[in-house]
Structure 1
Amino acid sequence: MLIDAIDIRQGTQNSPERSHGNCLPYVGVPFAMNYFSVQTNGAAGAWFFSPTSPRFEGIRLTHQPSPWIGDYCHLLLHPVTWETPTANLDLTGNYRPREARFNAHDLRVFDDHFDALTKLTPTTYGASVQTTFYDGATAHRGLAIQLPDQGEFTLTDHGVRLAVTDYHGGEDPDLTLYLELNIPELDVNASGYYDAERQWHAASSGRGQKMTLLLATKATRLNWQLATSYVSLDQARLNLSRITPKSWAALRNESADAWNQYLDRVEVHDHHPATVQTFYSCLYRLFLFPQRFYELDAHDQPVHYDTTAKQVKPGILYTNNGFWDTSKTVYSLFSILAPELLPQFLRGFLTSYQETGYLPRWLAPDERGMMPGNLVDSIIAECAVKDLAPELMPQLLVAMKDSDAKPAKGDRYGRQGSADYDQLGYVPADRYPESVNWTQDYAYSDYCISQVAASLQQPELAAKYRRLSKRYLNLVDRASGFLRPKNANGQFKANFAPDRWGSDYTEGSAWQNSFSAYHDIPGLIAALGGPDRFDAQLSALCNTRPSYQVGGYGMVIHEMAEMAAVDYGQLAISNQPSFHLPYLFTYCGHPEKTQVTVKQLRKLFNAGFTGFPGDEDNGSMAGWFIFACLGFYPVCPADATYVRGIPAFDRVILHLPDHDVTLTTANNHDHNNFVTSFAIDGQPHEALTLTHADLLKSTNIVTRLGLVPNPA
């Protein structure tokens, strides 16, 4: 499917109280430094886009990876017309959402207030834009640029150079985005800016808070281009010079090609067109993050701005990624569909370690410290076991051990409560919030370290960390069937309720957060009473009411509302802790329960504005749906093994780097909910798992579905 067929507004109908993805309609090339989005209501803060609102405030250059993280180094671009610049000049436009074009490589908006059609095509560091003004009677036409915070600009004969500073939550409160913009036939004399008090200044330069520039042009058909840089104005000018010789159409084709070279790696043939559309919309989401935070200098060498040292340095760096989310699905899919990306990403994560002393946890643009654990470890281990970037593994193993062993630095870097964790074997609930999730994630990280050590032929180190990875067992309460918070005195926290959210668990309760020993599911099953007991607990999880107590949150948060709204019991597929839960039935001998559950959960996804059952989170939920359609899932990415599920499509061809793998589903009818046979290259495959190596060396995988499960 070509990128032209994907409407990027999937999952964009949201509010703080209810997420259908909390997505933005990102216009950009894969992994670009910037994205562009229509803005319909800037007063709504992070929820500045509504897919049904006709209000058009302009095109926002954005770096927002999630509304819960927020934007930074952003600005608003809006082609407008005006008579005279008065204090009450209305710069708000109006458009028809159904008639606009929302493609990743081609955004087209007709603003009927200003009688202007704008077409934008993105590049890695900027964009090329065409605006046609149909009203020739208004005195002035041109471009309004709104800066959200501190900014400065200088007009040139052919455009504007500006800088915007609006990020105050990281290592460098003065982090600046530089922008160089070409505007043909710029009328400097009619240009100027409003200050924060809406006073007009007819000036060719300015500096201040919340400025709005009005850049007049004598052209009625305006071809303008822009490029950005975190390095310097000179670098922004260099980035712009690399696209100015090319036409809008040529850059549009380049952007489309950049997308299609990833989308074309999966070829789907099926009789459910809506599901196919959803699949490819999710595939678009998969290749957005992480974003580049590096640029190419005059010698085409990578350089980036180090926010910790506050200086420009050589090397690759990436940003806008929360590894607690993306480690579960995104990078596993990259390892299949685009393995060439992973060494590059790992180099970037290693740069983060070298410059901060810790491997990253949640980058936007530098460390935000969101979410528990340090699950970049999972990505590193997965790459090690899959023999991706072996040359980086010695350095990465040092970084993993160092980041996870030394004391935390504030609440953003390192393992919170690591001293207690090492002494007690768990994170104590009376000293740290969300202690159950921190404990499980630390245990999994220890396993990931052991996997990297094993790949480097360090058996003693691998054995040490494999032993440490069992420490999550200290929180097992066999009587209740859950992992429970435990205080420093060794006693379980009193007054336990399995549906109480927050405090001891992350964005959920004990129901969703007791089964995240991804690396040791058999050990967890044994500790909780064996396969039959575990199966009964999972069945209860799916069949009980979606009740919740607000607990430590003290209010209904959107994740609670989303779980209750779909009524799949306590199986809150709206959030990452539940992603693997349907596949756990397979571990206790009931793959048929996995199959029927996954098939039902797929119904919660669509290609429309309400496309996701919860926060999509940097490709992670899109990745879940992709795996659910392919028919397998990486419960433990660090093992390079997939648990089989149930495929969605009649035929899928994976165009791998060296050959094609065809996944065929026979008897693929809506009423068939169970897998009755599975064969690889003509040979029956009875195992309920599939190794990454087996997948990559196969040619034909055939799954047959049936009306009832096979007898046990």
Structure 2
Amino acid sequence: MKIDELDIRQGTANTSHRSHGNCLPYVGVPFGMNYFSVQTNGEDGAWFFQPDAPRYEGIRLTHQPSPWIGDYCHLLLTAVQWQDPTEHPDLVGNYRPNEATFNAHHLALFDDHFNVQTDLVPTAYGAAITYDFQTPELAHRGIAIQLPDDGQFELTDTGVRLTVSDYHDGEDPNLTLFVELTVPGLDSAHSGYYDANQQWHAATAGRGKWLTLLLATTQTQLDCRLATSYLNATQATQNLAVVQKNTVQQLQDESANLWNTYLARVSVKDHHPATVQTFYTCLYRLFLFPQRFYELDANGQPQHYDTMAKQIKPGVLYTNNGFWDTSKTIYSLFSILAPELIPQFLRGFLTSYQETGFLPRWLAPDERGMMPGNLVDSVIAESAKKGLAPDLMPALLAAMQDSDSKAARGQRYGRQGSADYDRLGYVPADKYPESVNWTQDYSYSDYCIGQVADTLNQTAVATKYWQLSKRYLNLLDPQTGFLRPKNTDGQFKPNFIPDRWGTDYTEGSAWQNSFSAFHDIQGLMTAMGGKAKLDAQLTTLCNTKPTYHIGGYEMVIHEMAELAAIDYGQLAISNQPSFHLPYLFNYTGHPEKTQVLVKQLRKLFNASTTGFPGDEDNGSMSGWFIFACLGFYPVCPADAEYALGIPAFDQITLHLADHDLTLTTANNHDHNNFVQSTLIDNQPLTTSTISHAQLMASTRIATRLGLVPNN
């Protein structure tokens, strides 16, 4: 499929109480610095877009990676008409969502209140926006620009230069986005702005909070060009020159080609068109994040704004990525479909370390400190084991060891409770919330450090960290089969309730959060009492009623509602801690349970506005579905291998860097839930895993499905 066949409103019908993806319909280029979205109601905060709402407030230039993170350096553009600005005209329009075009490379809609057709084509640092006022009725027409929080503007001969600053909790409380917009036929005499008190000022410049600009024009058809920069106004002007070089159609073709370059790396032939549509729509979401936070100077060299030093520095930098989510799927897929991206991303993450002293955890635009662990370590280790960016690994290993060994700085940087973790072998629950998840993630990070050291032939370092990676077992209660929180005195917390959420666990209970020893499934199994014990525990997990105690959250959070809504037992595929759970049956000797689970869970995904069972989170849930269709999954990314599942398509071809890998599925009927046989290059595959090296060296994987499982 091509990008113009995909509607990007998948997963966009959400509220703060129920997530069907918590997505926005991002119009942009892959990994662009900005995205654009229709805004239907800004008063709903982070949920400013509803796909069925006819209300049209404008097109929002957005950097929001998640509603739970929020937006920053954003603004709103709308084509409007007005009679007298002192009478405070209504600037809200109306459109028909079912007649609008929502493509990644082209947004088009007709506002039937102001009778104007709007088309937007994105570029890496800006956009071309055309407005066609089809029936001018009032004295003045033009563009309204709403700036949140601090902003300023100045009209020029060709348009407007402005700044917006609205994120004050980062390292630079004055982080600023510089914007330049051309407005053909600009009528300065009838332009001006409203201040925060809604007082009108007929002026060509202004500054303050919550400004709303009205830029009048003498023309009815406008070809506007917009560019942005985090560096300065001069760079914004330079970025604008790039947008101005080509026609709108040329820019649209260029944007489409960028998307199709990635989409074309996979070819699907199948008799389930809805599943194919969902697959490609998820593929679009895979290539949105992380976003670039760097720009190119006059010589084409990358430079970025260092929010810590508050200086412009050379080199690449990326943002809008939460590694607790994305480390589980998207970087594994990049390593297969677009391995050339990995070195560039790793350079950006290394830049973060060099400028803050810590590898990143959740960037938006700088460190937010969200979620437990330091799971960028997983991305680094996976890349090392797959032979990607070997020249960066010595520096990255040093960064991993440094970031994970020194004391945390505040709540945002480093390992929280690291001294207690090193002393006790676990994060104590009486001192730190979500201690079970922190302990597991630290253990996995230790394993990841060992993996990188191993690729660099640092055997002693690798052995040390592999041994440390077993510390999560200090929280295992073999009698219940769960990881349970321990206090500083070494005793389990009393009054244990398996389905109690929060306090000691992250966005879940002991059911979802006791099996994240990705690196040590065999060790976990042995400590629990063997394969049969883990198999019984996982089986019970899947068949237990999806109950929950609100626990530390003291309210029903949306993840609880989603667990109950899908009714797949305690298997909360709506959130990342459950992503690998279906595949664990492979390790207990029951791959047939994995197969039927994965096939049933795929039914929870579609290409509609309610297309995800929970938060999509920067491509991570899209990545889960893509793997579920391919027929394998990276349970432990740092091991560079995949657990087998069940493929979805009659035929899918991965166009790898040097050859094609074709996966076929015979007897691919809806009622066949089990794999009967798998051949790799005509040789039987008798294991339940496949290494990355074996996968990438193969040319054909042939799977046959059946009605009942094999013994």
**TM-score bin (small chain):** over 0.9
Partner of 1:694: 694
Measured after TM superposition, the shift of residue 88 of structure 1 is 2.9
CA distance in 2 between counterparts of 1:201 and 1:686 reads 75
Query: Superposed, which structure 2 residues align to 1:49-128 within 5 Å?
Result: 49-128=49-128
Partner of 1:653: 653
Query: Superposed, which structure 2 residues align to 1:671-682 within 5 Å?
Result: 671-682=671-682
Aligned partners of 2:675 and 2:703 also within 8 Å: yes
Whether 2:313 is the aligned partner of 1:297: answer no
Query: Superposed, which structure 2 residues align to 1:485-504 within 5 Å?
Result: 485-504=485-504
Q: Which runs of 5+ in 1 are unaligned?
A: none
CA distance in 2 between counterparts of 1:486 and 1:72 reads 39
Letter in 1 for 2:262: Y
Partner of 1:195: 195
Partner of 1:519: 519
Aligned partners of 2:54 and 2:96 also within 8 Å: yes
1:622-659 per-residue CA deviation (whole Å, 9 max, x = no partner) reads: 00000000000000000000000000000000000111
Query: Superposed, which structure 2 residues align to 1:588-599 within 5 Å?
Result: 588-599=588-599
**TM-score, length-scaled by structure 1:** 1.00
Aligned partners of 1:11 and 1:609 also within 8 Å: yes
Aligned partners of 1:475 and 1:483 also within 8 Å: yes
1:278-318 per-residue CA deviation (whole Å, 9 max, x = no partner) reads: 00000000000000000001111111000001111111000
3-state SS, counterpart of residue 70 of structure 1: coil
**TM-score, length-scaled by structure 2:** 1.00
CA distance in 1 between counterparts of 2:87 and 2:184 reads 27
3-state SS, counterpart of residue 53 of structure 2: coil
Whether 2:468 is the aligned partner of 1:468: answer yes
Partner of 2:310: 310
Partner of 1:227: 227
CA distance in 2 between counterparts of 1:660 and 1:188 reads 58
CA distance in 1 between counterparts of 2:136 and 2:436 reads 65
CA distance in 1 between counterparts of 2:176 and 2:633 reads 41
CA distance in 2 between counterparts of 1:606 and 1:311 reads 44
3-state SS, counterpart of residue 234 of structure 1: helix
1:424-475 per-residue CA deviation (whole Å, 9 max, x = no partner) reads: 0000000000000000000000000000000001001000000000000000
Measured after TM superposition, the shift of residue 252 of structure 1 is 0.2
Partner of 1:282: 282
Partner of 1:530: 530
Query: Superposed, which structure 2 residues align to 1:245-644 within 5 Å?
Result: 245-644=245-644
CA distance in 2 between counterparts of 1:648 and 1:674 reads 11
CA distance in 2 between counterparts of 1:334 and 1:238 reads 31
Aligned partners of 2:184 and 2:217 also within 8 Å: yes
Letter in 1 for 2:624: W
Partner of 1:45: 45
Q: Which runs of 5+ in 2 are unaligned?
A: none
Measured after TM superposition, the shift of residue 89 of structure 1 is 1.2
CA distance in 2 between counterparts of 1:79 and 1:524 reads 60
Letter in 2 for 1:334: F
Measured after TM superposition, the shift of residue 87 of structure 1 is 4.5
Letter in 1 for 2:555: M
CA distance in 2 between counterparts of 1:307 and 1:245 reads 31
CA RMSD of aligned residues (A): 0.5
CA distance in 2 between counterparts of 1:682 and 1:400 reads 41
Partner of 1:215: 215
Aligned partners of 2:79 and 2:116 also within 8 Å: yes
3-state SS, counterpart of residue 702 of structure 1: strand
1:359-405 per-residue CA deviation (whole Å, 9 max, x = no partner) reads: 00000000000000000000000000000000000000000000000
CA distance in 2 between counterparts of 1:41 and 1:289 reads 25
3-state SS, counterpart of residue 51 of structure 2: coil
Aligned partners of 1:602 and 1:628 also within 8 Å: yes
CA distance in 1 between counterparts of 2:587 and 2:32 reads 40
Measured after TM superposition, the shift of residue 109 of structure 1 is 1.0
Aligned partners of 1:329 and 1:620 also within 8 Å: yes
1:580-600 per-residue CA deviation (whole Å, 9 max, x = no partner) reads: 000001100000000000000
Q: Percent identity?
A: 73
Aligned partners of 1:87 and 1:200 also within 8 Å: no
Measured after TM superposition, the shift of residue 137 of structure 1 is 3.0
1:549-595 per-residue CA deviation (whole Å, 9 max, x = no partner) reads: 00000000000000000100000000000000000011000000000
CA distance in 2 between counterparts of 1:84 and 1:260 reads 46
Aligned partners of 2:2 and 2:260 also within 8 Å: yes
Whether 2:130 is the aligned partner of 1:130: answer yes
Letter in 1 for 2:625: F
Aligned partners of 2:267 and 2:654 also within 8 Å: yes
CA distance in 2 between counterparts of 1:181 and 1:267 reads 39
Aligned partners of 1:443 and 1:468 also within 8 Å: yes
Aligned partners of 2:115 and 2:136 also within 8 Å: no
CA distance in 1 between counterparts of 2:252 and 2:646 reads 38
3-state SS, counterpart of residue 187 of structure 2: strand
CA distance in 1 between counterparts of 2:497 and 2:243 reads 59
Measured after TM superposition, the shift of residue 243 of structure 1 is 1.6
1:22-64 per-residue CA deviation (whole Å, 9 max, x = no partner) reads: 0000000000000000000000000000000000000000000
CA distance in 1 between counterparts of 2:637 and 2:668 reads 28
Letter in 2 for 1:647: P
Measured after TM superposition, the shift of residue 275 of structure 1 is 0.4
CA distance in 2 between counterparts of 1:569 and 1:472 reads 25
Measured after TM superposition, the shift of residue 219 of structure 1 is 1.1
Partner of 1:667: 667
Paired residue total: 711
